[in-house]
Amino acid sequence: MSQCLEVRARGPVAGGSRTRGLFRMSASSVALSAMAVALAPAWAQTAQSGNAPQASAESASGTTLSQTANGSDATATEEIIVTGTSIRGAAPTGSPLISIGRDDIVTIGARTTQDIIKTIPSIGAFGAVPVPTNDFGQVGIKPSIHNIGAGATLTLMDGHRLVGAGILQTNPDPSIIPPSAIERIEVVADGASSIYGSDAIAGVLNVILRKNFHGAETSFRYGFADNYHTIDVNQIFGRKWSSGSFMIAGEYTKNDAVFGSERSFVRQDQRPLGYNDLRSNAAIPPNITADGKLYAYPNFSTTSFNLYDTSQVGSLIPDAHRYSIVSTFRQEVTPDIEVYAEGLFSERKSTNTVDPGGATPTIPASNPFFVRVPGTVNAFEVARMELLPIVGALHTPSKLQSMGLTAGVNVKLGHGWEAIVEGNIGHEDDQNDQQVVNATALAAAAAGTTTSTALDPFTGQTSPSVIAGLLGVNASRNRQNLREASAKFDGPLFELPAGRVKLAVGIQYHYESLNQSYDTIGVTNTLTSKLSRNFLAEYAEALIPIFGGDFSFPLLRKVDLAVSVRHDRYNDAGSTTNPKFGVNWSPVAGLTLHGSYGTSFHAPPLADKNPASIDTRVQPLFASTTFAPPGAAPSNYFYLAGSDPNLVPEKAKTWSFGGDYAPPFVPRLRFGATWWHEGRRIVPAE
């Protein structure tokens, strides 16, 4: 069960721009920005003059939404579809809509998409910032509305799903979308499975792309710190004509690696801070265990041992670079038919560096590099050695490619009705080659009997051919595919005294697959698996104006009711039906009270159902004294990872109530508060 009280305040900022959320600004050591203007007079207009204005503040109260598409010869106004509803020209009823628009993006100086997302108070935990990671098991940022887990937040781009990213997860990564391509980001922090299906228990984050941009815009940012440099370059070109538009935007980011040795606060000897010395006695030079006693090499002391800090060689921040490209196209074929398409491609490369760590090989007396401890007659000994002088630092290069293509047609059917038929495909390929030490080869080298085959832990004379045989690669690869087809019809049904009753109905087919492989050292196809899932869904939504316009009374200035329901049939998770009811009530000008009740569900991700999961283990960790005061008892830990092919869906009942107040006497100022409650349970498939 989760509960959340969200309080929002929005108001004017310098320059007259409106804020929609809680903005937090941070700076690196030095950041430089540059803006480029158009290259020709036809392109010489600002982004603001060519872009469709973002949803107005009143949209959160359920009033009509529209965008103005300014062509070179004509101006047309069209209703848009907003996150949280399938009905054109309406905001979600019963649920607050949070929108971060283009003016806000410029005001906060966002250089990345995660810079935009972190300004939304509904995302994360009380100011926690979504940070992209170069861990390719769970790559990128994972927005979490109400902080109840990324699996409960549905991330969309222009209302459709993105393919997942990472080896151990199927969550999409919105950070691959160039910030220059974003018109606005909309968040509905309320259950939305009645509209979108699975994964929307906590709500929906929808990235809306710029489609009417005309001109060119460049932004550049450079930052540096001690032994660290980073750059971000964004470029967008757009062209708009009377019957359509085209936009292409790209982003390139790069950062250096930061190693533990480059930061004085990274150290395992915590005694200066009042804690313990956590350095390892598998050290350089090694220690020797012989006849049950520990000796320091080369002086064979039994009271003072060699210690080694393993935190210095590894990269705290791996070096990485990424480029992303997104493009949109719209063309009016006839006055009643419009075709559109958008594409996305992103590639990210990174190299993580780690210390190879310690090892404790058994060295027999037959090893030509055997060093006998004075006064002992042992036939073997254990070398407690650090492997860095032997094999060097270990590297894990990773590469991730993600792509998607959406195409559709919008047809005006007459009498205010429209139909949208759309196809959506996505593909992701994630490769991770982890360089590791072959434990079997290490043991064999320790038992070698000649200088050309034996391991030398003491004097550094190990043969290069032996060293080459100690290293290997654990290669993992993950490929995900997404295929969707959908059709939606919406328009007015009939008139009530307060306005038109509107209806949207639709059908959607969804297919996704997950293909994983994992090859350990010398063993091809150690783990392989291929899973897939499909579902067919039907949904309907009605917006019913109860009071409003000429049909209004004291304290009943405007009342809207929304009812939606969706039925999903999964081939592996059964069937589920999820309704939602929402109401907006405006008793006086400027004040809107809202409430909702509905059910949502979350189908188990394919990565969590995989019977051959790459990372499956229940690993007891030795009692640890990490960050424990000297003399304190150590703590025991267990590490649990893996999957369960018998997982079943989660289902939740969610309800919320709250209000928004925009004082008529203070333009652009808005206060909002929402209480949100979620009760979740595991349900067997029908």
**Cα dihedral: 604, 609, 615, 621 (round 10):** 70
Give CA–CA dist 595/657, Å, rounded.
4
pLDDT at site 625: 56
- Residue 239 makes CB contacts below 8 A (sequence gap 6+) with 214, 245, 246, 247
Give CA–CA dist 571/574, Å, rounded.
6
Q: Using the CB atoms, write b or e for 128-166: b if 16+ within 10 Å.
A: eebebbbbbbbbbbbbbbbbbbbbbbbbbbbbbbbbbbb
Mean pLDDT for 446-466 is 96
What is the band of 139 on the pLDDT scale with cuts at 50, 70, 90? low
pLDDT at site 10: 55
pLDDT at site 342: 97
For the chain, the structural domain boundaries read 2-260+318-354+397-436+474-612+645-682
pLDDT at site 565: 98
599: pLDDT strictly greater than 60:
yes
Give CA–CA dist 170/148, Å, rounded.
17
Mean pLDDT for 582-605 is 95
What is the band of 11 on the pLDDT scale with cuts at 50, 70, 90? low
- Residue 143 makes CB contacts below 8 A (sequence gap 6+) with 117, 123, 124, 130, 150, 153, 155, 174, 205
- Site of tokens 């018998």: 646
Tokens describing residue 320: 């990485």
Question: 155-213: per-residue pLDDT in tens?
Answer: 999 999 999 887 777 888 899 999 999 999 999 999 999 999 999 999 999 999 999 99
Tokens describing residue 118: 């972190």
- CA-based nearest residue to 350, from 320, 371, 381, 322: 320
pLDDT at site 21: 31
- Site of tokens 């809509």: 97
H or E stretch covering 269: none
User: Over the chain, what is the mean pLDDT?
Assistant: 84
- The pTM of the full predicted model, rounded to 2 decimals, is 0.83
What is the band of 629 on the pLDDT scale with cuts at 50, 70, 90? low
What is the band of 138 on the pLDDT scale with cuts at 50, 70, 90? low
pLDDT at site 16: 36
pLDDT at site 522: 73
CATH number given to 2-260+318-354+397-436+474-612+645-682:
2.40.170
Question: 325-377: per-residue pLDDT in tens?
Answer: 999 999 999 999 999 999 999 999 999 999 999 999 999 999 999 999 998 88
pLDDT at site 573: 87
φ and ψ at 615, to 5 degrees? -115, 85
pLDDT at site 621: 55
pLDDT at site 252: 96
pLDDT at site 54: 35
Question: 43-72: per-residue pLDDT in tens?
Answer: 222 233 333 333 333 333 333 344 543 333
pLDDT at site 636: 61
Is residue 21 within 8 A of residue 100, CB to CB? The reply is yes
Question: 220-253: per-residue pLDDT in tens?
Answer: 999 999 999 999 999 999 999 999 999 999 999 9
Least confident of 25-29, 159-163, 318-322, 597-601: 25-29
Give CA–CA dist 115/131, Å, rounded.
9
pLDDT at site 610: 78
77: pLDDT strictly greater than 60:
no
